[in-house]
Structure 1
Amino acid sequence: MGPLILNTRPEADSQELETTLLQRGYRLLSAPMLRIEFPQNPDQLDLADVQALIFTSANGVRAFTRQCDDRRYPALCVGDATARTAQQAGFTDIRSANGDIHDLARLIKDQIDPTNGALFHPAARKVAGDLGSLLRDGNFDIRRQTMYDAVPSDCLPNEVVSAISAHHIDAVLFFSPRTAESFVKLIERHKLQKDLVGTRAICLSSAVQDRLSVLTWLKTEVAKHPTQEYLLSALENAFA
């Protein structure tokens, strides 16, 4: 049997990931650390004079497409997973930064003329970085609108608690600082801090790793580039 992996990513983002893990021989448990919620009565979208859309997550694509049927806008995506979601939603002009928010800012500076109009950013209530500040010196008009919320989970599934207590989980995957923060709080709530000493933490970025530093791990691995493909490479390296 392969190593037992705990996936903490939200359910909507996990189908492709979990299929890949199973194909590579890993066993899986799932404990989404964030629950994505869309407003029941969303605000009207302000798309006047918008030249392109900014998607910093697949959930941004989902939020936008719940409220707007127009797919003619160029979709500026933080990474390939978000770009694939945009493609599945019907967008045709899709540009992927294949990285993090800093890579996305560079893509926008390189490919977008700020004089052609505003950039509309469907965002979560809490965002991981300040894209506006990264683009401030380029005179871009970033029109950010809160369109969904990522709510931290308030419990761990019983089977996950049992597996951690029994030291059965070989590695945990973390894709964002907020999922890491939620995980730490739940580990402390369940008093499982001493039960991760034989477990590996696989982190998308150093910012994710920082949120997990209060826990004692067998080892931590950080993806060389903030993409799912590189995170899976870090997972493989953890067992080398």
Structure 2
Amino acid sequence: MRLLVTRPDEDQDGLAEALRAMGHQAIAAPLLAIRPLADAAIPDTPYQALLVTSANGARAVGARRRDMARLAALPVLAVGEASAEAARAAGFADVASAGGDVEALIELALRRLAPGGGPLLHVAGSVTAGDLKGGLEAHGFSVDRVALYEAVAADCLPEAAIEALGTGAADGVLFYSPRTARSFASLIRAAGLEQTLVTLTAYCLSGAVADALAGLPFKAIETATEPTQAALLGRLA
């Protein structure tokens, strides 16, 4: 299949490789651009652990050399395997994956950490899904959430997407977040290309992502059985 990939550029390569290994073609059509927040400051606090809810968060902290010098030895709890792999690539050695969503990450933290062991550091984007901080603080943890990057929505569909949709050169679209799905819905309507979707299947990471596509005339909407990339790619079969 020929699939539009709506993830940011930073997340395209690994996914494109996985799709090629399955016999599919990836068409890069990022709807979010990742921009580091240069003025973000991580408190000089003796943290118990680092929490990561996106690969971009892991990459952002890994790019901060001074902070990495004091944080690299911390255990890292990541929301999923992609975030865990990015944390390892950034230089963290003790990394565990919750293999799911924010609720799964909270459960992992409750198993691995103790409220009395010290505060937790959550590095993330300026916009996050779920309430990791509130969920853990309800169990007695202290959590510092620091936004290290922002994800800026595209103001128009990428040219690759317009061409693929207009020429019938796409069979489906991959969506990883409700925000990306909402952006796609808005941009596809603004471009007057809704009817190009009638032969396409939308592949969604979760029910919330699928809900954000309500009203668009996709041939079908497939939802992963769990919010992981492995489960999402499994729907392609």
TM-score (norm 1): 0.93
Pairwise mapping of residues 91-240 of structure 1 onto structure 2 (< 5 A)? Answer: 91-236=92-237
- Displaced runs of 4+ in structure 1, greater than 2 A? 165-168
What residue in structure 2 maps to residue 72 of structure 1? 73
Q: Answer yes or no: is the 8 Å Cα contact 2:28–2:160 preserved in 1.
A: no
TM-superposition CA deviations, 1:81-110 (whole Å, max 9, x none) = 111111111111111101111100100111
- The alignment covers a number of residue pairs equal to 233
5+ residue gaps, structure 1, are: none
**Matched position secondary structure for 2:30:** coil
CA separation in 1, counterparts of 2:34 and 2:146? 16
Q: Is 1:35 the counterpart of 2:72 in the alignment? A: no
Q: Answer yes or no: is the 8 Å Cα contact 2:49–2:77 preserved in 1.
A: yes
CA separation in 2, counterparts of 1:146 and 1:198? 39
> Which letter maps to 2:123?
P
What residue in structure 2 maps to residue 8 of structure 1? 6
> Which letter maps to 2:32?
L
CA separation in 2, counterparts of 1:116 and 1:222? 38
> Which letter maps to 2:192?
K
Indicate the percent of aligned positions where both proteins have the same amino acid.
Answer: 39
CA separation in 1, counterparts of 2:148 and 2:160? 33
> Which letter maps to 2:55?
A
Q: Answer yes or no: is the 8 Å Cα contact 2:29–2:160 preserved in 1.
A: no
Q: Answer yes or no: is the 8 Å Cα contact 2:41–2:146 preserved in 1.
A: no
Indicate the larger mover: 47-56 or 61-70.
Answer: 61-70
TM-score (norm 2): 0.94
CA separation in 1, counterparts of 2:47 and 2:215? 43
Q: Answer yes or no: is the 8 Å Cα contact 2:6–2:173 preserved in 1.
A: yes
Structure 1 residue 43 displacement after superposition: 3.1
Q: Answer yes or no: is the 8 Å Cα contact 1:167–1:196 preserved in 2.
A: no
